[in-house]
Amino acid sequence: MKKSFKSGYVGIFGLPNAGKSTLLNKIIDFDLSPVSKKPQMTRNRILGILNDSRYQIVFVDTPGFLDPKYKLQKHMSEEISKAARDCDAGIYVTDPVMPSQKDISTADSIAVPLILCVNKIDKLKNKGLLLPVIDEWRKTKEFAEIILISALRGDNTEKVVPSVLELLKPGPRYFDEDALTDRTDRFYSAEIIRESCYDLFRKEVPYSISVVVEDFKERYGGKKHYIKAVLYVERESQKAIVIGRNGQMIKKLGALSREKMKKYLERDVFLDLSVKLMKNWKDDSGKISRLGLNN
Ligand SMILES: Nc1nc2c(ncn2[C@@H]2O[C@H](COP(=O)(O)OP(=O)(O)OP(=O)(O)O)[C@@H](O)[C@H]2O)c(=O)[nH]1
Ligand SMILES: [Mg+2]
């Protein structure tokens, strides 16, 4: 390996819904981390690895910062703290508006060198409105760089990696050259189902769902995957919503998830979904752990 080979862990931080996962997916050019219109999509740290002959950057997508109100959110906050502790540099993603006190204090709480990505600039008709926003951020914290981006459209996202590389030191390759993530296909299959739940269900329902893949097998010489997953809900009433009248909703959920899984796994998928009740799991550390959310 050449001496100048660079590597490092780079956390992607920000408030819920800022576009962190969208940015990660854009950088690694793969729909790895689930994205939703609704906040609090990401619950665990997700690694997205960018490989090149000159570097390996391990991006760490994190849940959005929030004040934890129940045990699951406490777990999400711990995921952020772990990522912040372990990374060499960070990207802070924010909306293209005047930063709130929460946004400022959150960015300030991260100790590693940070690049500020002001995201969603496609939403602004008048880019001049960004000048006071940038000024405000400059006053509050010293960033290694400020980049105005649209993670969704890919505007200026090509500037992110070169800026990150400026902050990284020579280092080893932590993962295989062809690795994209440290998580298994099994993990992502559960995430795809959860993402589809955010698409289909309203109000508190998607937040009350946890997905466990109980069986994940290759069939027909690897041509097809058999995936058996259970959706755990917190209340009996939610079970009825997820199943829907005559099983309509769970059928819809199965069809939507299966399409995304086929794309992700590049295989045909047989998906077996069921719904079970696990009372108030979101506020019970033991249950959160049994659901595999602590991994
Ligand atoms: N218009 C616009 N929308 C964006 C952009 N980037 C992300 N979004 C949208 O913002 C929403 C949230 O995106 P995510 O990537 O899930 O945000 P996140 O920060 O990972 O959210 P959490 O995981 O819940 O903290 C989705 O509907 C995205 O499509 C952007 O550049 N422009
Ligand atoms: Mg996310």
Question: pLDDT for 145-167, tens place per residue?
Answer: 999 999 999 999 999 999 999 99
State the residue range of the domain holding 206.
185-290
- pLDDT of amino acid 165: 98
> 24 C-alpha to center of ligand 2: Å?
9
Q: Is 66's pLDDT higher than 90?
A: yes
Distance 109 CA to ligand 2 centre (A): 19
48 and 59 Cβ atoms separated by less than 8 Å = yes
Per the domain annotation, does 178 fall within a domain? no
Nearest to 196 by CA among 55, 82, 34, 1: 34
Ligand 1, atom 11, lies closest to the CA of: 37
Q: How confident is the model at residue 295 (pLDDT cuts 50, 70, 90)?
A: low
Identify residues whose C-beta is under 5 A from ligand 2, the ion. 20-21, 41-42
Residue 79 belongs to a domain with what CATH number? 3.40.50.300
Q: 179 lies in a domain?
A: no
Q: Which atom of ligand 1 is nearest to the CA of 34?
A: 16
- Is 61 in the same domain as 160? yes
Residue located nearest, by CA, to atom 1 of ligand 1:
120
CATH of the domain at 241: 3.30.300.20
Kindly state whether residue 121 falls inside one of the protein's structural domains: yes
Q: What φ, ψ does residue 246 adopt, rounded to 5°?
A: 55, 25
Shared domain for 91 and 235, answered yes or no, is no
Q: Are 33 and 152 contained in the same domain?
A: yes
Structure token pair of residue 140: 């509050």
Residue 87, pLDDT > 70, answer yes
In a domain, 295, yes or no: no
- pLDDT tens-place string over residues 219-228: 888 889 999 9
Ligand 2 centroid vs 36 CA: distance in angstroms?
8
Q: How far apart are CA 224 and CA 233, in angstroms?
A: 28
pLDDT of residue 285: 94
CA 113 to chain centre: 21
Share of the chain above pLDDT 90, in %: 95
Q: Single out the residue in 139, 170, 201 at which a domain terminates.
A: 170
* pLDDT single digits (tens) 89-113: 999 999 999 999 999 999 999 999 9
Percent of the chain whose pLDDT exceeds 70:
99
User: What's the one-letter identity of residue 126?
Assistant: N
pLDDT of 157: 98
Ligand 2 geometric centre to CA of 17 (Å): 7
Residue minimizing CA distance to atom 27 of ligand 1: 37
Q: Is the pTM of this model over 0.85?
A: yes
